[in-house]
Amino acid sequence: MFKIFNYLFFVLFIVCAFLQYNDPDPYIWMPIYLFGAVMCWFAARNRYFPRIYLAAISVFCFYALYLFFTDDGVKDWIVEHQAEDIAASMKAEAPWIEDTREFFGLCIIMFVLALNYFVLRSSERKKNYQKLPR
């Protein structure tokens, strides 16, 4: 099940990266989604890089906080625009729509990375515990 989850998100993040081609800032978002895809590929193959997971989650968390509190960010979308529908049109007519979508994209990537971190860390601990002499 874990491998299927990671292969699914590998494909999803690849698709998301290519959809960023027409985005106003593809040079930021294509690498972010491709990074998520690569980490899912490694996780599906039981490759574990704990420091990379933690560093990426930290960087993405700071960027998400920036998107939340910036002018025309998520906070403005909630407070000033009453959390209007951000999925009605694929064209972002307003800046708060773009920032809100990017915020939720980061949340998805952070969730997947955190889940992989904890699952892989748990499996590493089990392997090390089984190797201990009894």
Polymer length in residues for the chain: 134
Identify which of 36-40, 79-83, 129-133 has the greatest average pLDDT: 36-40
Residue type, 101: R
Per-residue pLDDT tens for 64-85? 999 999 888 888 787 877 777 6
Query: Does the structure show a pLDDT above 90 at 13?
Result: yes
The pTM for the full model equals 0.86
Taking the CA atoms of 44, 45, 48 and 54 in sequence, report the sign of the dihedral they define. negative
Q: Which residue has the tokens 């920036």?
A: 66
Structure confidence at residue 8 (pLDDT): 98
Helices (H), the chain: 2-19, 26-44, 50-69, 74-79, 95-131
Per-residue pLDDT tens for 40-73? 999 999 888 999 999 999 999 999 999 999 888 8
Q: How far, in Å, CA of 22 to CA of 36, rounded?
A: 19
